[in-house]
Chains A and B, each alone.
Chain A
């Protein structure tokens, strides 16, 4: 379903804000990143730029603010090519929110950071102060104006970076993966802030729920070309084209549909609902790891854990949820023995001394949120072999485990690839392989799907489901929690607030709205998308019954007749998320709409009157 010639879904009058014509770009190593981009962006457009990792999204936005020079083609902003003095001025009107806020907060205090752009806009230092205060107040950081940015939390940094841009009152705001690594609370704030923003919004994201919330238009990139230019609703309503571009997140909706949505019309292609998860937690195995009244304080005095009791049984999968700073990460590092606090800590019933805790790495494997923190070798094979070598295994065994682990994470044959050159999803899987090769009894996963595109997410989920290990999962993602775990621990300010079955937890969410997981607007949007997916347009060959004047050679006459058309129509129907098949038959119906040019075409069909076909 590629309708490349379609007009942008939003009408605009007057000149476009951005006019991109036949833009090509190749990196110095010869790799073509953009291949003939044509795009018009009107002032006030809200565009989601989506596509697989490596499809050229980042390259495109780096053109839009002149960070990359135009090699071939045209790029016009406000009627002028984006070069020289015009580029300098344009940059002051185009705000870019990059992925890592640490890259953008390069001054000593938040004040200076916000000041930086304003002063570059030509404002006098004496007059900017109210603007700086206002900008920081609008993102809720007015109390931290003179704080050095390295003291902020990740979410605060992200908001501060946004404040730096908003202060400049940009006409265009470009966001690169704005929700990556944000916890749901912070994400909600960000969504609110962006909703209030009235200029042009261009947003790169894998998170279609987020995009659906904020954007009206979706531009799908694939291998440096624009494949679709839709309204957002059209995109999310059409799983096959999302699937084609690795964007299909419908697998998430399936789980949600089973929770508390009104039952949908039956469709055989919908996946089976997951097995009842509530019962699993009752069949308890032996305790693998246990903490009793465990406390931990950081050297700076922060009490991160305040009396945690936690027993993990063999074969169990437990989710740990809670807002950022609730003590989840500290709990993990204590379980791993990286940090050592006071209280009981036992492995398989035997209490662990401080020394023994440091040997826990032999039994417990941990996958970090950012694979960059875990990968430090020059080839994948070395990387995966590192752990088994530290265990002191013989060379053949190490080799066998490397092969096995790489195969497990679908990276067979990657032995000599350089980890640093892999894509985000591959790096994540490699990080998992490095841990799997040590064959840990317990596997700890910290936000395993952070930063992955939906396709990568689905693959990872598949891999994780296959693993036999006892698991601990830290995640903000209700879908992941529902799919992978049977038991949930809710943490809050260093304490375990709740410890119950995941099913109870998910039910609890909607009642108490603890706001711990990414529900809220997401749930709302998910439902809307589900609805949309059942009534949406299809463009595939189907039959029409017509009544219009038409021509057979010299003869022009009019009568109802049937023939095949290929154009979109709205159908109300259901179909599976993972298939392009449809439950609905290509119906024959009477249509009253026009088919431009159709009447002039030659018609070949049998006329019952004269039993002959005209030419």
Chain B
């Protein structure tokens, strides 16, 4: 779920904008210069995968995959997410322009944390990879939901109802994302383990 324009108080919108700019600058610095074009191309695939809908009971949910982005890109994940969100906002109006910073924080911070978590804990076996991958995938979404709640709550107590609903709506997504991420990591482990071993763009 992306926050649209006008929801956040102006101070929060501006503040999160500045914060995400700072993190993005750090992310660019962490990425090897010649890898930036590669990160851009991969961002396009994350963009496309976030348009994929997974059926869930009578409706369907589309994937957010902050966890997976973090797993695959490491520190460059924040940059990729910021770019992806910008393009989603420009092309589809998913998430407002003035709320871009907030949205980037909401998705990017979980991505960075999950990337770190995965890198630390992934171990050597497929089982462990899948477990940690699922944890990162699900955890990323959970964290994103928590941040969304926090951002919404910044609007004051009137927004608590919306916040609760948003949290509730993310619960099933959290399960789906965790499972899909686990399966994706399992697939990658068997097919192209080097994608999991070295995070693209991580300055080597």
A residues near B (Cβ < 8 Å) are: 106, 378-379, 418, 420-421
Contacts and interface: CB of A to CB of B under 8 A. Distances in A.
11 contacts: A106-B37, A378-B186, A378-B187, A378-B190, A378-B191, A379-B190, A418-B190, A418-B191, A420-B191, A420-B192, A421-B191
Nearest to A377: B187
Nearest to A103: B41
Q: Report which residue of B186, B187, B190, B192 has the largest number of chain A beta carbons within 10 angstroms of its beta carbon.
A: B190
Top-4 shortest CB links A-B: A378-B190, A420-B191, A378-B187, A378-B191
Contacts of A418: 190-191
Interface of B: 37, 186-187, 190-192
B9 to A, nearest CB: 37
B115 to A, nearest CB: 23
Contacts of A421: 191
A342 to B, nearest CB: 27
Contacts of B186: 378
Contacts of B191: 378, 418, 420-421
B114 to A, nearest CB: 23
Given A378-B186, A378-B190, A378-B191, 8 more contacts: A106-B37, A378-B187, A379-B190, A418-B190, A418-B191, A420-B191, A420-B192, A421-B191
A104 to B, nearest CB: 13
A421 B186 CA distance: 16
A78 B186 CA distance: 49
B185 to A, nearest CB: 11
Nearest to B40: A106
A206 B191 CA distance: 28
A379 B187 CA distance: 10
B189 to A, nearest CB: 9
Contacts of A420: 191-192
B83 to A, nearest CB: 15
A418 B192 CA distance: 10
A106 B44 CA distance: 12
Nearest to A378: B190
B187 to A, nearest CB: 5
B47 to A, nearest CB: 14
A75 to B, nearest CB: 22
A406 B29 CA distance: 49
Nearest to B187: A378
Nearest to B192: A420
Contacts of B37: 106
Nearest to B183: A378
A378 B187 CA distance: 6
Contacts of B190: 378-379, 418
A153 to B, nearest CB: 21
Q: Report which residue of A378, A379, A418, A421 has the largest number of chain B beta carbons within 10 angstroms of its beta carbon.
A: A378
Nearest to A421: B191
Contacts of B192: 420
A421 B190 CA distance: 11
B122 to A, nearest CB: 18
A58 B190 CA distance: 26
Nearest to B37: A106
A420 B192 CA distance: 9
A421 B191 CA distance: 8
A418 B187 CA distance: 10
A151 B191 CA distance: 32
